[in-house]
Amino acid sequence: MSFSTEATALPYSGIRIVHAASFQADKDGAAFFNCDLKFHQGMVQAGCHVYPFSINDRARQLTWTNSKYWGMGKANTALIKTCQNIQPDALILGHGQHITVETLEAIRDKVPGIRMGYWYIDPLWDPKPIEHLNRRAHLFDAVCCTTGGEMVQQFVRQNTAAAFIPNPVDAGVERMRAFEIQNTPHDLVYFGRDKHASHRGQFLAKLRDALPEVKCDFFGCLGERLVFGAEKDAVLARSRMGLNLSRRTDVFLYSSDRLSQLIGNGIVALIQRGAGFEELFGEDEVGFYSDFDDLVNVVRAFRKDDELRCHVARNGWKKAHGVFSSRQCSEFLLNLTFRRPEATTTPWSKHIYWHESDATRLALPANTPATSRGVVNRKAA
């Protein structure tokens, strides 16, 4: 029996996806803003039927110890069985470092023609945490990371494209409009940890001392507790500026999802120059700064001029929701995974990297059914 999808204009209508990631059900909703859920929502918005496979939660369910480590072998088996039952057009894997090469090969064997895409949002500069990705990169059609340049280019293999992808913004998650609030109790906020990052704590302490007139709240640092869930939402709704301070500021296009949470909620995001974000945002959309002294001046300027603050925050909010939405980021991942030429239409498409022998690239027409696309011998590749 066949079903018609002609009545809908959604680009991925009729496509079935198994999305294996860590949906963090064990946190009881406190991490509802995580990227796993945003990519999931984005694929649904694009018209896919998306089956969620929560890797860690499934592992806990499958062992009496409630340990994800003891249950991970069974979770791998369950993922294979899930793909057998659903016969998806694509498996999208988010992180999932415990999903083995053997599991992915078994899925390719049992679901002929399946496409595999991968997204990753953690830093790439430490080689040990990404060993799992280098081991498995050849099995994916596309590897997308929230880092650009040479660090993401290392995952290129024959038949595997690697690309930068922004941290997604979702209107149902980043739903605050802080630029509409005039009397905000928080001038400058930061969300992160200074544990195992003493330089970060030192920087924030120095900044707070340099700005005695500014109400600074550095959640998770300098003895302040982290906030989650609706409590974090309430802070975001009543903040003027947010510092996007990553562990390193010299890595091309890297940022945690802190950036999407700040800009997406209508807060002026303060970003240090030099990491390439000038390619994605204009001077009237975020607060760029060059060094510590410049940051102090930028904070004072936005605090003094609320009209300027609202103007820049609104522009950044429009850009984030208009260009870096969950749906657009997810469609980019799917377009690259399925080799649809639409992948080249995004503002960050110049950061797609190919193997020199990959002749097909984006040559397949957009309307080619997923199940008729050629099967690649991944073991040979």
> Which of 3-17, 137-151, 366-380 shows the lowest mean pLDDT across its residues?
366-380
Amino acid 3: pLDDT: 43
User: pLDDT tier at 30 (50, 70, 90 boundaries)?
Assistant: low
pLDDT over threshold 80, residue 4: no
Closest to 32 measured CA to CA, from 341, 207, 257: 257
- CA dist 215 and 193 (Å) reads 19
pTM of the model: 0.90
Amino acid 24: pLDDT: 76
Domains in the chain with CATH codes: 16-168+326-372 (3.40.50.2000), 178-323 (3.40.50.2000)
Amino acid 379: pLDDT: 52
- The mean pLDDT of 333-353, rounded to a whole number, is 95
Phi, psi of 203 (to 5 degrees): -65, -45
Contact 273, 298 (CB under 8 A): no
State pLDDT tens for residues 160-189.
999 999 999 999 999 999 999 888 899 999
Contact 145, 152 (CB under 8 A): yes
Amino acid 25: pLDDT: 73
- The mean pLDDT of 155-159, rounded to a whole number, is 96
- CA dist 287 and 298 (Å) reads 7
Average pLDDT, the chain: 90
pLDDT over threshold 80, residue 377: no
pLDDT over threshold 60, residue 308: yes
